Amino acid sequence: MEVADVKPPWPDAELAASREDAELVISVSGDVDLATAPSVEREMAELMAEVGVEEVVIDLSRVGFLDSAGVRVLVLAKRAAAARDLPLRVQSPSSQCRRILEVAGLTELFGLDDPPRAQD
């Protein structure tokens, strides 16, 4: 068996983008960690560079795991958005993502000051 035939044992992170007028919503799913962060960072930067984007929303509702490399991706995206005077906020973080952002002291930076709503 060649190395190229081996699929990594961790779930890949996937990004889906949608636009409504000038708002770009980037929906992330899977795990954003040391293994997947470089590709997530690269894809996010490409999406944010599109012409006509005036606001960025990152939806983390389908992220199962976020480590420090994933937090770094979010901070770099926030910096890149700020450099272009684009507002960027995180929307609907999974409970694990919210906890990581709370521990890191980043909830205010990403517009997550309100406590999470109780789930039915």
Domain boundaries, position 89? 12-103
- Which DSSP string corresponds to 33-93? STTTHHHHHHHHHHHHTSTT--EEEEEEEEEEEE-HHHHHHHHHHHHHHHHTT--EEEES-
pLDDT (tens place) for every residue of the chain, 120 residues total: 344 444 455 568 889 999 988 999 999 999 999 999 999 999 999 999 988 999 999 999 999 999 999 999 999 999 999 999 999 999 999 999 999 999 999 999 999 876 555 554
> What is the number of structural domains in the chain?
1
Is 44 within a domain?
Answer: yes
Residue 67, domain CATH: 3.30.750.24
Residue 1 lies in a domain: no
Predicted TM-score (pTM) of the model is: 0.83
- Asked if residue 117 belongs to a domain, the reply is no
Residue 118, domain member (yes or no)? no
Would residue 115 count as lying in a domain? no
Question: Is residue 33, in this structure, part of any structural domain at all?
Answer: yes
Q: Is there a domain that residue 27 lies in?
A: yes
